Amino acid sequence: MTESDAEDRKPQSDEARSAFVPPSGVVTQAPPVEEESSTTSEFALPKGYGVAQPPVADPEGSAFSMPRTYSSRDAPPAFTPPAGIPRVDLIKDAPWQDRMRTMLRMPVADRPVPETVQKTEDEGPAVPRVLDLTLRVGELLLAGGEGAEDVDAAMFAVCRSYGLDRCEPNVTFTLLSISYQPSLVDDPVTASRTVRRRGTDYTRLAAVYQLVDDISDDEIEVSLEEAYRRLAEIRRNRHPYSGWVLTLATGLLAGAASVLVGGDLIVFVAAVVGAMLGDRLAWLCAGRGLPEFYQFTVAAMPAAAIGAALTIAHVDVRASAVITGGLFALLPGRALVAGVQDGLTGYYITASARLLEVMYFYVGIVIGVLVILYFGVTLGAQLNPDAALLSTNRPLWQIGASMLLTLAFAVLLQQERSTVLVVTLNGGVAWSVYGAMHYAGGISPVASTAVAAGLVGLFGQLMSRYRFASALPYTTAAIGPLLPGSATYFGLLAIAQNDVDQGLVQLSKAAALAMAIAIGMNLGSEISRLFLRLPGAAAGARRAAKRTRGF
Protein backbone atom coordinates (compact mmCIF):
# COMPACT_ATOMS: atom_id res chain seq x y z
CA MET A 1 0.00 0.00 0.00
CA THR A 2 1.47 3.35 -1.03
CA GLU A 3 1.70 6.39 1.23
CA SER A 4 -1.06 8.18 -0.67
CA ASP A 5 -3.43 5.21 -0.23
CA ALA A 6 -2.75 5.15 3.50
CA GLU A 7 -3.42 8.88 3.69
CA ASP A 8 -6.78 8.42 1.93
CA ARG A 9 -7.81 5.76 4.44
CA LYS A 10 -7.33 8.03 7.47
CA PRO A 11 -10.59 9.06 9.10
CA GLN A 12 -11.52 12.67 8.56
CA SER A 13 -11.96 14.65 11.79
CA ASP A 14 -14.81 17.06 12.41
CA GLU A 15 -12.44 20.00 11.93
CA ALA A 16 -11.56 18.77 8.42
CA ARG A 17 -15.10 19.11 7.13
CA SER A 18 -15.73 22.07 4.87
CA ALA A 19 -17.77 24.97 6.16
CA PHE A 20 -19.16 25.57 2.64
CA VAL A 21 -21.17 22.37 2.28
CA PRO A 22 -24.46 23.40 0.59
CA PRO A 23 -27.59 22.87 2.66
CA SER A 24 -30.02 20.12 1.89
CA GLY A 25 -32.40 20.89 -0.96
CA VAL A 26 -29.95 22.98 -2.98
CA VAL A 27 -29.07 21.42 -6.34
CA THR A 28 -25.44 21.85 -7.25
CA GLN A 29 -24.23 21.87 -10.84
CA ALA A 30 -21.54 19.46 -11.87
CA PRO A 31 -18.34 21.03 -13.16
CA PRO A 32 -18.04 21.22 -16.95
CA VAL A 33 -16.46 18.21 -18.58
CA GLU A 34 -13.49 19.03 -20.70
CA GLU A 35 -13.54 17.79 -24.25
CA GLU A 36 -11.48 14.74 -24.98
CA SER A 37 -8.12 15.60 -26.37
CA SER A 38 -7.47 14.52 -29.91
CA THR A 39 -4.00 13.43 -28.97
CA THR A 40 -3.97 10.23 -26.94
CA SER A 41 -1.22 8.11 -25.53
CA GLU A 42 -0.26 4.91 -27.20
CA PHE A 43 -0.76 3.29 -23.85
CA ALA A 44 -4.41 4.39 -23.50
CA LEU A 45 -6.95 1.65 -23.02
CA PRO A 46 -9.25 0.99 -25.92
CA LYS A 47 -12.90 1.92 -25.70
CA GLY A 48 -15.15 -0.73 -24.26
CA TYR A 49 -12.49 -2.16 -21.96
CA GLY A 50 -13.97 -2.28 -18.45
CA VAL A 51 -11.94 -1.68 -15.32
CA ALA A 52 -13.26 -2.94 -12.03
CA GLN A 53 -13.84 0.00 -9.66
CA PRO A 54 -13.12 -0.36 -5.93
CA PRO A 55 -16.16 -0.45 -3.65
CA VAL A 56 -17.25 2.92 -2.32
CA ALA A 57 -16.87 3.13 1.47
CA ASP A 58 -19.63 4.52 3.66
CA PRO A 59 -19.12 8.14 4.63
CA GLU A 60 -17.64 8.51 8.06
CA GLY A 61 -19.75 10.23 10.70
CA SER A 62 -20.25 10.46 14.43
CA ALA A 63 -19.87 7.37 16.58
CA PHE A 64 -23.41 7.98 17.81
CA SER A 65 -25.04 8.07 14.34
CA MET A 66 -27.70 5.52 13.41
CA PRO A 67 -26.36 2.58 11.37
CA ARG A 68 -27.07 2.59 7.62
CA THR A 69 -29.20 -0.55 7.81
CA TYR A 70 -31.44 0.81 10.58
CA SER A 71 -35.02 1.69 9.71
CA SER A 72 -37.40 3.13 12.26
CA ARG A 73 -40.37 1.77 10.29
CA ASP A 74 -39.10 -1.83 10.48
CA ALA A 75 -37.74 -1.56 14.02
CA PRO A 76 -39.16 -3.98 16.62
CA PRO A 77 -41.51 -2.56 19.24
CA ALA A 78 -39.79 -1.10 22.32
CA PHE A 79 -39.86 -3.23 25.44
CA THR A 80 -42.13 -1.97 28.20
CA PRO A 81 -42.22 -3.59 31.65
CA PRO A 82 -45.49 -5.34 32.55
CA ALA A 83 -46.18 -2.80 35.29
CA GLY A 84 -45.34 0.13 33.01
CA ILE A 85 -42.65 2.73 33.41
CA PRO A 86 -42.89 4.30 36.87
CA ARG A 87 -43.67 7.96 36.96
CA VAL A 88 -41.36 10.17 38.96
CA ASP A 89 -42.91 13.18 40.66
CA LEU A 90 -40.50 15.75 42.05
CA ILE A 91 -42.34 18.21 44.26
CA LYS A 92 -40.81 21.66 43.99
CA ASP A 93 -41.37 22.36 47.69
CA ALA A 94 -39.06 19.51 48.67
CA PRO A 95 -35.44 20.39 49.47
CA TRP A 96 -33.27 20.46 46.39
CA GLN A 97 -30.89 17.98 48.05
CA ASP A 98 -33.64 15.32 48.16
CA ARG A 99 -34.75 15.97 44.58
CA MET A 100 -31.22 15.79 43.21
CA ARG A 101 -30.36 12.63 45.17
CA THR A 102 -33.50 10.98 43.79
CA MET A 103 -32.48 11.69 40.20
CA LEU A 104 -28.82 10.82 40.72
CA ARG A 105 -29.85 7.31 41.74
CA MET A 106 -31.91 6.87 38.56
CA PRO A 107 -30.67 5.85 35.10
CA VAL A 108 -30.26 8.71 32.66
CA ALA A 109 -33.09 7.50 30.43
CA ASP A 110 -35.58 7.43 33.33
CA ARG A 111 -34.90 10.93 34.62
CA PRO A 112 -37.67 13.47 34.06
CA VAL A 113 -37.00 16.32 31.68
CA PRO A 114 -35.96 19.38 33.69
CA GLU A 115 -37.83 22.64 33.74
CA THR A 116 -35.17 25.27 33.18
CA VAL A 117 -35.16 27.46 36.27
CA GLN A 118 -32.69 30.14 35.16
CA LYS A 119 -33.02 32.08 31.93
CA THR A 120 -30.53 31.29 29.20
CA GLU A 121 -29.70 32.81 25.85
CA ASP A 122 -31.98 32.28 22.87
CA GLU A 123 -29.56 29.85 21.22
CA GLY A 124 -29.35 27.73 24.37
CA PRO A 125 -27.23 27.56 27.51
CA ALA A 126 -23.53 28.30 27.36
CA VAL A 127 -22.41 24.73 27.98
CA PRO A 128 -18.70 25.34 28.78
CA ARG A 129 -19.50 28.14 31.23
CA VAL A 130 -22.22 26.14 32.99
CA LEU A 131 -19.87 23.18 33.37
CA ASP A 132 -17.11 25.43 34.67
CA LEU A 133 -19.43 27.03 37.23
CA THR A 134 -20.61 23.59 38.31
CA LEU A 135 -17.05 22.36 38.85
CA ARG A 136 -16.12 25.46 40.86
CA VAL A 137 -19.12 24.96 43.14
CA GLY A 138 -18.23 21.32 43.64
CA GLU A 139 -14.60 22.23 44.35
CA LEU A 140 -15.54 24.54 47.23
CA LEU A 141 -17.89 21.94 48.73
CA LEU A 142 -15.42 19.06 48.47
CA ALA A 143 -12.55 21.16 49.83
CA GLY A 144 -14.76 22.20 52.75
CA GLY A 145 -15.29 18.59 53.85
CA GLU A 146 -18.71 17.86 52.33
CA GLY A 147 -19.61 14.27 51.50
CA ALA A 148 -19.31 13.01 47.93
CA GLU A 149 -23.06 12.41 47.54
CA ASP A 150 -23.91 15.96 48.63
CA VAL A 151 -21.28 17.37 46.24
CA ASP A 152 -22.82 15.31 43.43
CA ALA A 153 -26.29 16.60 44.29
CA ALA A 154 -25.15 20.24 44.32
CA MET A 155 -23.37 19.91 40.97
CA PHE A 156 -26.40 18.20 39.44
CA ALA A 157 -28.70 20.93 40.75
CA VAL A 158 -26.63 23.69 39.13
CA CYS A 159 -26.55 21.90 35.76
CA ARG A 160 -30.27 21.20 35.63
CA SER A 161 -31.15 24.71 36.73
CA TYR A 162 -29.40 26.06 33.63
CA GLY A 163 -31.02 23.54 31.29
CA LEU A 164 -28.37 20.79 31.02
CA ASP A 165 -30.29 17.61 31.79
CA ARG A 166 -27.99 14.89 30.40
CA CYS A 167 -25.22 15.52 32.91
CA GLU A 168 -23.23 12.96 34.85
CA PRO A 169 -21.07 14.39 37.67
CA ASN A 170 -18.31 12.26 39.14
CA VAL A 171 -16.65 13.01 42.49
CA THR A 172 -13.51 11.43 43.87
CA PHE A 173 -11.20 12.50 46.66
CA THR A 174 -9.13 14.95 44.61
CA LEU A 175 -10.80 15.03 41.16
CA LEU A 176 -14.13 16.44 40.00
CA SER A 177 -15.43 15.75 36.52
CA ILE A 178 -18.71 16.24 34.71
CA SER A 179 -19.91 15.02 31.33
CA TYR A 180 -22.75 16.52 29.29
CA GLN A 181 -24.27 14.94 26.18
CA PRO A 182 -26.70 17.20 24.27
CA SER A 183 -28.51 14.26 22.62
CA LEU A 184 -28.07 10.60 21.81
CA VAL A 185 -26.39 11.40 18.47
CA ASP A 186 -24.07 14.20 19.65
CA ASP A 187 -20.62 13.82 21.11
CA PRO A 188 -20.39 14.45 24.88
CA VAL A 189 -18.58 17.40 26.44
CA THR A 190 -16.44 16.60 29.49
CA ALA A 191 -14.67 18.93 31.92
CA SER A 192 -12.70 18.25 35.10
CA ARG A 193 -11.10 20.08 38.00
CA THR A 194 -8.58 19.02 40.64
CA VAL A 195 -8.92 19.83 44.36
CA ARG A 196 -5.41 20.46 45.65
CA ARG A 197 -5.98 22.32 48.91
CA ARG A 198 -8.46 21.67 51.68
CA GLY A 199 -9.54 24.13 54.32
CA THR A 200 -12.22 23.82 56.95
CA ASP A 201 -14.52 26.85 56.75
CA TYR A 202 -18.18 26.10 57.36
CA THR A 203 -19.11 29.76 56.81
CA ARG A 204 -17.91 29.45 53.23
CA LEU A 205 -19.68 26.10 52.96
CA ALA A 206 -22.99 27.66 54.07
CA ALA A 207 -22.56 30.48 51.53
CA VAL A 208 -22.06 27.98 48.69
CA TYR A 209 -25.18 26.08 49.77
CA GLN A 210 -27.14 29.34 49.76
CA LEU A 211 -25.93 30.03 46.22
CA VAL A 212 -27.00 26.58 45.02
CA ASP A 213 -30.37 27.04 46.75
CA ASP A 214 -30.93 30.37 44.97
CA ILE A 215 -29.92 28.89 41.62
CA SER A 216 -32.39 26.01 42.13
CA ASP A 217 -35.24 28.34 43.12
CA ASP A 218 -37.54 29.23 40.23
CA GLU A 219 -38.59 32.47 41.96
CA ILE A 220 -35.03 33.84 42.11
CA GLU A 221 -33.23 34.71 38.89
CA VAL A 222 -29.47 34.12 39.06
CA SER A 223 -27.67 34.59 35.76
CA LEU A 224 -24.33 32.99 35.01
CA GLU A 225 -22.57 36.32 35.52
CA GLU A 226 -24.28 36.83 38.87
CA ALA A 227 -23.41 33.29 39.97
CA TYR A 228 -19.76 33.82 39.04
CA ARG A 229 -19.69 37.12 40.94
CA ARG A 230 -21.15 35.58 44.09
CA LEU A 231 -18.77 32.64 43.85
CA ALA A 232 -15.80 35.00 43.61
CA GLU A 233 -17.02 36.88 46.70
CA ILE A 234 -17.30 33.60 48.61
CA ARG A 235 -13.69 32.77 47.74
CA ARG A 236 -12.42 36.22 48.75
CA ASN A 237 -14.23 36.37 52.08
CA ARG A 238 -11.97 36.19 55.10
CA HIS A 239 -12.42 33.59 57.80
CA PRO A 240 -14.70 34.78 60.62
CA TYR A 241 -12.12 33.95 63.31
CA SER A 242 -8.43 34.85 63.36
CA GLY A 243 -5.52 32.49 63.97
CA TRP A 244 -5.08 33.39 67.64
CA VAL A 245 -8.80 32.88 68.28
CA LEU A 246 -8.46 29.42 66.78
CA THR A 247 -5.46 28.72 69.02
CA LEU A 248 -7.45 29.78 72.10
CA ALA A 249 -10.36 27.60 70.95
CA THR A 250 -7.96 24.66 70.63
CA GLY A 251 -6.84 25.16 74.21
CA LEU A 252 -10.40 25.42 75.52
CA LEU A 253 -11.35 22.27 73.63
CA ALA A 254 -8.50 20.34 75.24
CA GLY A 255 -9.28 21.75 78.69
CA ALA A 256 -12.96 20.86 78.40
CA ALA A 257 -12.04 17.34 77.26
CA SER A 258 -9.73 16.91 80.28
CA VAL A 259 -12.58 17.87 82.64
CA LEU A 260 -14.85 15.49 80.73
CA VAL A 261 -12.61 12.53 81.63
CA GLY A 262 -12.16 13.46 85.29
CA GLY A 263 -9.67 16.34 85.46
CA ASP A 264 -9.69 19.25 87.90
CA LEU A 265 -8.62 22.89 87.60
CA ILE A 266 -4.88 22.14 87.40
CA VAL A 267 -5.50 19.54 84.73
CA PHE A 268 -7.68 22.02 82.83
CA VAL A 269 -4.94 24.67 82.80
CA ALA A 270 -2.25 22.14 81.84
CA ALA A 271 -4.34 20.79 78.97
CA VAL A 272 -5.08 24.30 77.69
CA VAL A 273 -1.39 25.25 77.70
CA GLY A 274 -0.31 21.99 76.05
CA ALA A 275 -2.89 22.22 73.29
CA MET A 276 -2.09 25.87 72.54
CA LEU A 277 1.63 25.10 72.31
CA GLY A 278 0.91 22.19 69.98
CA ASP A 279 -1.31 24.36 67.79
CA ARG A 280 1.37 27.06 67.49
CA LEU A 281 3.99 24.46 66.60
CA ALA A 282 1.66 23.04 63.94
CA TRP A 283 1.17 26.55 62.49
CA LEU A 284 4.95 26.95 62.39
CA CYS A 285 5.36 23.66 60.52
CA ALA A 286 2.60 24.61 58.09
CA GLY A 287 4.34 27.90 57.36
CA ARG A 288 7.52 25.98 56.53
CA GLY A 289 5.64 23.78 54.06
CA LEU A 290 5.70 20.51 56.03
CA PRO A 291 2.90 18.03 55.24
CA GLU A 292 -0.02 17.57 57.61
CA PHE A 293 1.40 14.25 58.85
CA TYR A 294 4.29 16.03 60.53
CA GLN A 295 2.03 18.79 61.76
CA PHE A 296 -0.09 16.25 63.66
CA THR A 297 3.04 14.59 65.02
CA VAL A 298 4.42 17.86 66.39
CA ALA A 299 1.05 19.06 67.73
CA ALA A 300 0.62 15.86 69.80
CA MET A 301 3.88 16.27 71.70
CA PRO A 302 3.40 19.28 74.06
CA ALA A 303 0.31 17.93 75.88
CA ALA A 304 1.96 14.53 76.35
CA ALA A 305 5.17 16.22 77.56
CA ILE A 306 3.29 18.33 80.12
CA GLY A 307 1.43 15.29 81.43
CA ALA A 308 4.64 13.30 81.81
CA ALA A 309 6.41 16.28 83.44
CA LEU A 310 3.65 16.66 86.03
CA THR A 311 3.99 12.98 86.91
CA ILE A 312 7.79 13.22 87.22
CA ALA A 313 7.38 16.28 89.47
CA HIS A 314 5.03 14.24 91.71
CA VAL A 315 2.15 16.67 91.26
CA ASP A 316 -1.08 15.08 92.43
CA VAL A 317 -2.99 15.30 89.16
CA ARG A 318 -4.34 12.85 86.61
CA ALA A 319 -1.74 13.03 83.87
CA SER A 320 -3.91 10.79 81.72
CA ALA A 321 -6.58 13.51 81.64
CA VAL A 322 -4.03 16.09 80.43
CA ILE A 323 -2.82 13.88 77.59
CA THR A 324 -6.36 12.79 76.69
CA GLY A 325 -7.46 16.42 76.47
CA GLY A 326 -4.61 17.15 74.07
CA LEU A 327 -5.61 14.20 71.91
CA PHE A 328 -9.22 15.42 71.69
CA ALA A 329 -8.03 18.56 69.93
CA LEU A 330 -6.27 16.48 67.25
CA LEU A 331 -8.52 13.52 66.49
CA PRO A 332 -9.82 13.82 62.89
CA GLY A 333 -13.45 13.17 63.64
CA ARG A 334 -14.73 15.21 60.71
CA ALA A 335 -12.68 13.28 58.13
CA LEU A 336 -13.63 9.96 59.71
CA VAL A 337 -17.36 10.67 59.59
CA ALA A 338 -17.13 11.88 55.99
CA GLY A 339 -15.18 8.76 54.96
CA VAL A 340 -17.65 6.34 56.50
CA GLN A 341 -20.57 8.28 55.07
CA ASP A 342 -19.10 8.08 51.55
CA GLY A 343 -18.65 4.34 51.96
CA LEU A 344 -22.23 3.84 53.15
CA THR A 345 -23.61 5.83 50.20
CA GLY A 346 -21.61 3.90 47.59
CA TYR A 347 -18.64 6.21 46.91
CA TYR A 348 -16.04 3.61 47.75
CA ILE A 349 -13.02 5.24 46.08
CA THR A 350 -13.57 8.50 47.92
CA ALA A 351 -14.30 6.65 51.16
CA SER A 352 -11.08 4.66 50.87
CA ALA A 353 -9.06 7.81 50.26
CA ARG A 354 -10.62 9.63 53.22
CA LEU A 355 -10.10 6.70 55.58
CA LEU A 356 -6.50 6.37 54.40
CA GLU A 357 -6.01 10.05 55.21
CA VAL A 358 -7.48 9.47 58.69
CA MET A 359 -5.11 6.55 59.18
CA TYR A 360 -2.12 8.75 58.33
CA PHE A 361 -3.30 11.38 60.82
CA TYR A 362 -3.69 8.73 63.50
CA VAL A 363 -0.22 7.38 62.79
CA GLY A 364 1.20 10.89 63.14
CA ILE A 365 -0.54 11.36 66.49
CA VAL A 366 0.63 7.93 67.65
CA ILE A 367 4.26 8.69 66.77
CA GLY A 368 4.19 12.05 68.54
CA VAL A 369 2.64 10.69 71.75
CA LEU A 370 4.69 7.49 71.81
CA VAL A 371 7.98 9.39 71.55
CA ILE A 372 7.08 11.48 74.60
CA LEU A 373 5.71 8.50 76.54
CA TYR A 374 8.86 6.46 75.91
CA PHE A 375 11.03 9.29 77.21
CA GLY A 376 8.66 9.83 80.15
CA VAL A 377 8.69 6.17 81.18
CA THR A 378 12.48 6.10 80.85
CA LEU A 379 12.80 9.15 83.10
CA GLY A 380 10.60 7.57 85.77
CA ALA A 381 7.13 8.88 85.00
CA GLN A 382 4.59 6.70 86.83
CA LEU A 383 1.83 6.60 84.24
CA ASN A 384 -0.92 4.27 85.38
CA PRO A 385 -2.92 2.48 82.68
CA ASP A 386 -5.40 1.28 85.33
CA ALA A 387 -6.68 4.85 85.55
CA ALA A 388 -8.85 3.99 82.57
CA LEU A 389 -11.02 1.95 84.91
CA LEU A 390 -11.82 4.94 87.11
CA SER A 391 -15.35 6.12 86.41
CA THR A 392 -16.16 9.80 86.56
CA ASN A 393 -19.69 10.42 87.76
CA ARG A 394 -20.05 14.19 87.66
CA PRO A 395 -23.04 14.77 85.38
CA LEU A 396 -23.35 18.55 85.74
CA TRP A 397 -19.63 19.17 85.27
CA GLN A 398 -19.52 16.78 82.33
CA ILE A 399 -22.52 18.32 80.57
CA GLY A 400 -21.00 21.78 80.97
CA ALA A 401 -17.63 20.54 79.73
CA SER A 402 -19.24 18.84 76.73
CA MET A 403 -21.01 22.05 75.74
CA LEU A 404 -17.78 24.05 76.10
CA LEU A 405 -15.96 21.45 74.01
CA THR A 406 -18.64 21.67 71.30
CA LEU A 407 -18.48 25.46 71.32
CA ALA A 408 -14.71 25.46 70.89
CA PHE A 409 -14.97 22.84 68.15
CA ALA A 410 -17.51 25.01 66.28
CA VAL A 411 -15.11 27.96 66.38
CA LEU A 412 -12.31 25.76 65.02
CA LEU A 413 -14.59 24.78 62.13
CA GLN A 414 -15.16 28.48 61.30
CA GLN A 415 -18.91 28.19 61.65
CA GLU A 416 -21.38 31.02 61.35
CA ARG A 417 -22.29 32.63 64.64
CA SER A 418 -25.96 31.84 64.05
CA THR A 419 -25.25 28.09 64.12
CA VAL A 420 -22.87 28.00 67.11
CA LEU A 421 -25.62 28.05 69.77
CA VAL A 422 -27.65 25.29 68.07
CA VAL A 423 -24.70 22.94 67.68
CA THR A 424 -23.59 23.63 71.28
CA LEU A 425 -26.98 22.51 72.57
CA ASN A 426 -26.83 19.50 70.26
CA GLY A 427 -23.47 18.48 71.75
CA GLY A 428 -24.85 18.80 75.29
CA VAL A 429 -27.81 16.59 74.40
CA ALA A 430 -25.50 14.01 72.82
CA TRP A 431 -23.35 13.73 75.94
CA SER A 432 -26.45 13.60 78.19
CA VAL A 433 -27.79 10.64 76.23
CA TYR A 434 -24.39 8.92 76.32
CA GLY A 435 -23.98 9.49 80.07
CA ALA A 436 -27.50 8.29 80.84
CA MET A 437 -27.00 5.09 78.86
CA HIS A 438 -23.41 4.30 79.83
CA TYR A 439 -22.97 5.57 83.42
CA ALA A 440 -26.54 5.25 84.69
CA GLY A 441 -27.79 2.38 82.54
CA GLY A 442 -24.60 0.34 82.39
CA ILE A 443 -24.81 -0.09 78.61
CA SER A 444 -21.60 -0.64 76.64
CA PRO A 445 -19.83 2.52 75.48
CA VAL A 446 -20.01 1.50 71.82
CA ALA A 447 -23.80 1.14 71.84
CA SER A 448 -24.21 4.32 73.90
CA THR A 449 -21.98 6.23 71.48
CA ALA A 450 -23.90 4.95 68.45
CA VAL A 451 -27.27 6.04 69.88
CA ALA A 452 -25.96 9.47 70.89
CA ALA A 453 -24.36 9.98 67.46
CA GLY A 454 -27.62 8.90 65.82
CA LEU A 455 -29.48 11.63 67.67
CA VAL A 456 -26.83 14.14 66.60
CA GLY A 457 -27.31 13.16 62.95
CA LEU A 458 -31.11 13.26 63.30
CA PHE A 459 -31.25 16.73 64.87
CA GLY A 460 -28.61 18.07 62.51
CA GLN A 461 -30.44 16.80 59.44
CA LEU A 462 -33.70 18.32 60.66
CA MET A 463 -32.03 21.70 61.14
CA SER A 464 -30.39 21.54 57.72
CA ARG A 465 -33.70 20.65 56.03
CA TYR A 466 -35.43 23.46 57.88
CA ARG A 467 -32.84 25.99 56.67
CA PHE A 468 -32.10 24.30 53.30
CA ALA A 469 -28.40 24.22 54.22
CA SER A 470 -25.63 21.73 54.81
CA ALA A 471 -25.93 19.42 57.82
CA LEU A 472 -22.22 19.59 58.68
CA PRO A 473 -22.39 22.81 60.78
CA TYR A 474 -25.08 21.20 62.96
CA THR A 475 -23.45 17.79 63.42
CA THR A 476 -19.66 17.82 63.19
CA ALA A 477 -18.93 19.87 66.31
CA ALA A 478 -21.62 18.03 68.29
CA ILE A 479 -19.76 14.71 68.02
CA GLY A 480 -16.67 16.22 69.67
CA PRO A 481 -17.51 14.98 73.20
CA LEU A 482 -17.99 11.45 71.83
CA LEU A 483 -14.57 11.09 70.20
CA PRO A 484 -12.47 8.19 71.56
CA GLY A 485 -9.66 10.25 73.09
CA SER A 486 -9.19 8.28 76.32
CA ALA A 487 -9.23 4.87 74.59
CA THR A 488 -6.60 6.11 72.13
CA TYR A 489 -4.35 7.40 74.92
CA PHE A 490 -4.50 4.26 77.06
CA GLY A 491 -3.79 2.11 74.01
CA LEU A 492 -0.68 4.15 73.26
CA LEU A 493 0.38 4.09 76.92
CA ALA A 494 0.11 0.30 77.06
CA ILE A 495 2.24 -0.02 73.93
CA ALA A 496 4.82 2.37 75.43
CA GLN A 497 4.99 0.11 78.52
CA ASN A 498 5.54 -2.99 76.35
CA ASP A 499 2.02 -4.30 76.92
CA VAL A 500 1.20 -4.67 73.25
CA ASP A 501 -1.85 -6.91 73.73
CA GLN A 502 -3.59 -4.47 76.05
CA GLY A 503 -2.63 -1.60 73.75
CA LEU A 504 -4.17 -3.29 70.72
CA VAL A 505 -7.34 -3.97 72.72
CA GLN A 506 -7.65 -0.29 73.63
CA LEU A 507 -6.91 0.86 70.10
CA SER A 508 -9.51 -1.59 68.77
CA LYS A 509 -11.99 -0.09 71.21
CA ALA A 510 -11.12 3.38 69.92
CA ALA A 511 -11.69 2.21 66.34
CA ALA A 512 -15.04 0.66 67.32
CA LEU A 513 -16.13 3.92 68.98
CA ALA A 514 -15.12 5.90 65.91
CA MET A 515 -17.11 3.60 63.62
CA ALA A 516 -20.09 3.81 65.98
CA ILE A 517 -19.99 7.61 65.74
CA ALA A 518 -19.85 7.61 61.95
CA ILE A 519 -22.50 4.93 61.40
CA GLY A 520 -24.79 6.44 64.04
CA MET A 521 -24.63 9.86 62.43
CA ASN A 522 -25.33 8.49 58.97
CA LEU A 523 -28.22 6.36 60.24
CA GLY A 524 -29.78 9.34 61.99
CA SER A 525 -29.59 11.36 58.80
CA GLU A 526 -31.17 8.58 56.75
CA ILE A 527 -34.00 8.15 59.27
CA SER A 528 -34.80 11.84 59.02
CA ARG A 529 -34.97 11.59 55.22
CA LEU A 530 -37.10 8.43 55.23
CA PHE A 531 -39.74 9.15 57.85
CA LEU A 532 -39.68 12.82 58.76
CA ARG A 533 -40.52 14.53 55.49
CA LEU A 534 -41.33 18.18 55.10
CA PRO A 535 -44.82 19.22 53.92
CA GLY A 536 -45.00 18.84 50.16
CA ALA A 537 -42.06 16.48 49.88
CA ALA A 538 -42.18 13.62 47.42
CA ALA A 539 -44.07 10.63 48.73
CA GLY A 540 -41.94 7.99 47.04
CA ALA A 541 -38.81 6.69 48.72
CA ARG A 542 -35.57 7.48 46.96
CA ARG A 543 -33.96 4.60 45.17
CA ALA A 544 -30.77 2.90 46.23
CA ALA A 545 -28.66 0.02 44.98
CA LYS A 546 -30.01 -3.45 45.81
CA ARG A 547 -28.08 -6.01 47.76
CA THR A 548 -26.01 -8.16 45.43
CA ARG A 549 -26.89 -11.42 47.28
CA GLY A 550 -23.45 -12.84 46.71
CA PHE A 551 -23.17 -12.34 42.96
Q: What is the pLDDT of residues 420-436, one digit of tens each?
A: 888 999 999 999 999 88
Closest CA to 329 of 212, 477, 200, 523: 477
Q: Lowest mean pLDDT: which of 26-30, 125-129, 233-237, 476-480?
A: 26-30
Q: Is the pLDDT of residue 382 over 90?
A: no
pLDDT value of residue 307? 86
* Mean per-residue pLDDT of the chain: 76
Q: Within 13 Å, how many C-alpha atoms sit on residue 316's CB side? A: 0
Q: Using an 8 Å Cβ cutoff, are 368 and 301 in contact?
A: yes
Per residue in 454-507, pLDDT (tens digit) is 888 888 888 877 776 778 888 888 888 888 877 777 787 777 777 888 888 888
Contacts with 355 (C-beta within 8 Å, 6 or more apart), sequence order: 336, 339, 340, 343
Residue 13 pLDDT grade (very low, low, confident, very high; cuts 50, 70, 90): very low
pLDDT value of residue 10? 45
- How far apart are the C-alpha atoms of 477 and 50, rounded to whole Å? 88
Residue 276 pLDDT grade (very low, low, confident, very high; cuts 50, 70, 90): very high
> Phi/psi of residue 133, each to 5°?
-60, -40
pLDDT value of residue 468? 66
Q: How far is CA 298 from the centre of its chain?
A: 27
- How far apart are the C-alpha atoms of 386 and 469, rounded to whole Å? 45
Residue 146 pLDDT grade (very low, low, confident, very high; cuts 50, 70, 90): confident
Residues paired with 167 in a beta bridge: 180
Q: Using an 8 Å Cβ cutoff, are 189 and 127 in contact?
A: yes
pLDDT value of residue 383? 65
Which percentage of the chain shows pLDDT scores above 70? Answer: 71
Distances in whole angstroms, Cα of residue 499 to Cα of each of 116, 139, 151, 337, 544: 65, 45, 44, 30, 45
